[in-house]
Amino acid sequence: MKLHELTIQKAHELLKQKEISSQELTQAVLNRIEAVDAKVGAYISVAGEMAVDQSKLADKAISAGNISSLTGIPIAIKDVICTKGLRTTCASKMLENFIPPYDATVIKKLQKAGAVIIGKVNMDEFAMGSSTENSGFQLTHNPWDLDRIPGGSSGGSAAAVAADMCLGALGSDTGGSIRQPASHCGVVGLKPTYGRVSRFGLVAFASSLDQIGPLTKNVNDCALLMNTISGYDSKDSTSMPREVPDYTLSFKENLTGVTIGIPREFNTSKGFDPSVLSSVKNAVKVIESLGAKCIEISLPHTQYVVAVYYVIAPSEASSNLARYDGVRYGFRDKTKKSLIEMYRGTRSAGFGSEVQRRIILGTYALSAGYYDAYYKKASQVRTLIIEDFKKAFEKCDILLSPVAPTPAFKIGEMSEDPLTMYLSDIFTLSANLAGIPSLSVPCGFSAEGLPIGLQIMGNYFQEETILRTAYHYENATDFHKIKPTL
């Protein structure tokens, strides 16, 4: 097996037995990027030298007997997470030359574990989008079919994992931005419970919804990354002071006694690709055969999820993105003579059209006369969506659904119609609105050979139940073993 194709777990074993060095592994991944990223376009910045230096340090630590499950492992980081001294752009012209003076907490945790940061990967600008087409710099192509989108907004993270250009990656998920690209690229992606992972150093999009999480080649690797990045952080006042378990221990128990809920409303949604429905149905059968009990449940407010999200997320975004004014960091329009003209010139030239659309939508929803009708109304319906989940989790342990109604669409196919693109987020948005954890695991392929993901949602801080279900399902299937040819 080629080194870049290794899972985190396998690479760790080889590093530990000193059969390979981190420097060899890191160089293999850098060579892989050199060989295929011209076609895929996952990376905005490759941190070659920095990565090699980190790999040498990791090798020293390993020689001294200090090895954690991530020591010497090359990890890609979505370019929305601050890395000290390493350009962090949010795929926006606004931050094209921004070099953070500090590391995000998750980066500090990865470094402490000895991981190698291999580079920064592409995304929709400021994480707004479902296809990575909104990047201010470049398109990312789906490794399974280069004419198709990788999903978004963590499209670079998912494509880099699927194309073996890293061993694992971090993404961020505000409305499905980890799970949907994971589904479209045939990898595992987890959005943790809100408050499980520190958001310090994550450039804010919608602060009540954003959460950092892993994208990996299998479920075990996902658990390993979660072990490292989770936990309370005094620098994030919304992180929860709660102990972090060893997530891999959850695999020991089988699925006997687990009750799965199938939301009735998700079966009646329009616009489904038949291969998505059949793959998810088959997955449910497999999980039942592993000992889980299956019941139908109801999430009555599902039909309002998209409307609620596209009021709340743009409202929070319009406030968060007010900071980009050309004064303290980022792009400035230097042609303007007055302060107000400079603000306006900077923001109009620095933000792409989807970001401007959401700022305007959010500003409108929060503006005098419309606040009650839009923002407050959406926040009330959010309460009802949360109550639906609370009732559902009285009857079951996890919920199963599709991640996206269709496999990856063609580049350019949807970009003229924002509402159609928004509607494709129907299955993923509710986990962010409720704050619950949710994972995508490969569960099949479409007729064209495109990957399909199964969504597994759990109750607050029940990542262990989700990972345990995904792990046993993965073991019973072969979808994760099939790789794209590049």
Partner 1 sequence: MKITKEEVMHVANLAHLDMDESSIDTFTFQLGKILEYVDTLNRVDTEGVLPTYHAIALTNAFREDIQKDHFDKEQVLGNAPEKEDGSFIVPKVIQ
Residues catalogued as catalytic:
78, 153, 177
- Smallest separation (angstroms) from partner 1 to the CB of 61: 25
- Smallest separation (angstroms) from partner 1 to the CB of 125: 15
At residue 117, the 3 state secondary structure works out as strand
Q: Which of 56, 61, 460, 486 binds partner 1 (CB under 8 A)?
A: 460
Stretch that binds partner 1, among 275-283, 358-366, 398-406, 446-454 (CB under 8 A): 358-366
Q: Does position 298 bind partner 1 by CB under 8 A? A: no
Q: Does position 339 bind partner 1 by CB under 8 A? A: yes
Q: 10 Å Cβ neighbour count for 99? A: 14
Q: 10 Å Cβ neighbour count for 483? A: 14
- The residue (of 173 and 474) whose beta carbon lies closer to partner 1 is 173
- The residue (of 56 and 376) whose beta carbon lies closer to partner 1 is 376
**Distance in angstroms (rounded) separating the CA atoms of residues 66 and 46:** 27
**Distance in angstroms (rounded) separating the CA atoms of residues 238 and 481:** 37
Give residues 41-60 in contact with partner 1 (rule: CB under 8 A). Answer: none
120: CB partners within 8 A, 6+ apart: 43, 44, 45, 47, 76, 77, 78, 79, 83, 86, 87, 88, 89
Give residues 230-259 in contact with partner 1 (rule: CB under 8 A). Answer: 234, 237-238, 240
**Distance in angstroms (rounded) separating the CA atoms of residues 192 and 412:** 31
- Smallest separation (angstroms) from partner 1 to the CB of 97: 8
Q: Which of 126, 266, 351, 427 binds partner 1 (CB under 8 A)?
A: 351
- Smallest separation (angstroms) from partner 1 to the CB of 419: 5
Q: Could you say which DSSP state residue 145 is in?
A: B
Give residues 59-98 in contact with partner 1 (rule: CB under 8 A). Answer: 97-98
Packing angle of the helix pair 219-229, 105-112 (nearest 10 deg): 110
Peptide bond into 153 cis (omega under 30): yes
- The residue (of 249 and 339) whose beta carbon lies closer to partner 1 is 339
Q: Does position 266 bind partner 1 by CB under 8 A? A: no
190 within 8 A of 178, measured Cβ to Cβ: yes
At residue 189, the 3 state secondary structure works out as strand
Largest CA-CA distance found in the chain, in angstroms, rounded = 70
Q: Which of 52, 139, 307, 486 binds partner 1 (CB under 8 A)?
A: 307
Q: Report residue 81: phi and psi, to 5°.
A: -110, 125
Q: Which of 347, 468, 472, 480 binds partner 1 (CB under 8 A)?
A: 347
- Smallest separation (angstroms) from partner 1 to the CB of 204: 14
- Smallest separation (angstroms) from partner 1 to the CB of 101: 4
Nearest-5° Cα angle at 433, 431 to 438? 15
Q: Which of 63, 254, 289, 348 binds partner 1 (CB under 8 A)?
A: 348
Binding mask 377-396 for partner 1 (x = CB under 8 A): xxxxxxxx-x----------
Q: Which of 47, 308, 398, 454 binds partner 1 (CB under 8 A)?
A: 308
Q: Using CA of residue 106, residue 79, residue 202, residue 327, what is the dihedral sign?
A: positive
- Smallest separation (angstroms) from partner 1 to the CB of 284: 27
Give residues 174-203 in contact with partner 1 (rule: CB under 8 A). Answer: 193-195
Q: Does position 151 bind partner 1 by CB under 8 A? A: no
